[in-house]
């Protein structure tokens, strides 16, 4: 079946603008995760959804970052007033929850100029 | 908090050489341990996993054993191939749901 789909694959935006990144998880996966990956580093946890609710948002760096999953499937990561330091690859993953392995999308490369 | 420390790279080997990539972790509770791999131009994918102490995960000739006494999960392969060139990430997951990753080790295998 289809894997985790992320759109867009690349996004270039100007400092101060608002961006939305979309993730379409594997059908039937109840858990959805957002990670951020900078060059030469491992994925850094941002937020985790179990169903529609954010079970853990402790990784969101500040209140400019927000994510939703209104129907328990597709999720959108929203970044307000983007800064150059937000430039990174944003990864989405889904799983069956608990300690199940993560299934990753190919990521969205965000560049803030 | 939880953390994962990986052997720093990059690692360059000749084909058919023996591979070890070290991984140690710190965690509260009893985590599950994973190795993920990212091939050039592709997304992260699961390579192998182990869910309890002394378990051995294996896949595609790679192996790793969950060592609780040394809090380690070292990745090994007896004979690497050019197609194994990739970035390898060690990770742990607890019942809280989120996974914690190491910084990755880049492996290049030369013919």
A3–chain B nearest CA distance, Å: 11
Cis amide leading into B11 (omega within 30): no
Chain A residues near residue B98 by CB distance under 8 angstroms: 33, 45, 48, 56, 59
Mutate to test the interface with A, among B1, B101, B102, B106 (most CBs of A within 10 A): B101
Percent above pLDDT 90 for chain A: 82
Q: Which residue in A has a C-alpha nearest to residue B52's C-alpha?
A: A99
Higher-confidence residue of A61 and B1: namely: A61
Residue A86 per-residue DSSP state: G
B74–chain A nearest CA distance, Å: 17
A21–chain B nearest CA distance, Å: 17
Beta-carbon contacts of residue B69 (< 8 Å; ≥ 6 apart): none
Q: Which of A83-87, B25-29, B103-107 comes out lowest in average pLDDT?
A: B25-29
Beta-carbon contacts of residue B60 (< 8 Å; ≥ 6 apart): B47
Is residue B33 predicted with pLDDT exceeding 70? Answer: yes
Percent above pLDDT 70 for chain B: 97
Is residue A1 predicted with pLDDT exceeding 70? Answer: no
The pLDDT, as a whole number, for residue B41 is 87
User: Is B101 at the interface with chain A, CB within 8 A?
Assistant: yes
pLDDT tens digits for A92-108? 999 988 778 899 999 99
Instruction: Kindly report the average pLDDT of chain B as a whole number.
Output: 94
Other beta carbons less than 10 A from residue B68's beta carbon: 11
pLDDT tens digits for B54-106? 999 999 999 999 999 999 999 999 999 999 999 999 999 986 678 899 999 99
Q: Which of B94, B95, B51, B53 is nearest to B71 (CA)?
A: B53
Confidence bin at B51 (pLDDT 50/70/90):
very high
User: Is A25 at the interface with chain B, CB within 8 A?
Assistant: no
Distances (CA, A) of A83 to A15, A34, A77, B54: 5, 19, 15, 45
Cβ A23 vs Cβ A68: under 8 Å: no
């Amino acid at each position: 079946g289809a894997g985790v789909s992320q759109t867009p694959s690349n996004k270039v935006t100007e400092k101060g603008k608002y961006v939305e990144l979309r993730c379409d998880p594997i059908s039937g996966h109840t858990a959805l995760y957002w990670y951020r990956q900078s060059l030469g580093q491992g994925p850094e946890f941002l937020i985790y959804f179990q169903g529609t609710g954010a079970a853990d948002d402790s990784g969101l760096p500040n209140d400019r970052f927000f994510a939703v999953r209104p129907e328990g499937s597709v999720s959108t990561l929203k970044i307000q007033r983007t800064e150059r330091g937000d430039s990174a690859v944003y990864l989405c993953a889904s799983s069956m929850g608990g300690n199940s392995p993560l299934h990753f999308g190919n990521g969205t490369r965000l560049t803030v100029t | 908090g939880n953390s994962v420390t990986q052997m720093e790279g990059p690692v360059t080997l000749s084909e058919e050489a023996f591979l070890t990539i070290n991984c140690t972790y710190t965690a509260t509770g009893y985590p599950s341990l994973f190795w993920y791999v990212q091939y050039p131009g592709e997304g992260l994918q699961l390579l192998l996993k182990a869910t309890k102490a002394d378990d051995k995960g294996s896949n595609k000739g790679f192996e790793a054993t969950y060592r609780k006494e040394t809090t380690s999960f070292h990745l090994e392969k007896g004979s690497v191939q050019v197609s194994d060139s990739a970035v390898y990430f060690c990770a742990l997951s607890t019942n809280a749901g989120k996974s914690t990753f190491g910084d990755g080790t880049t492996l290049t295998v030369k013919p």
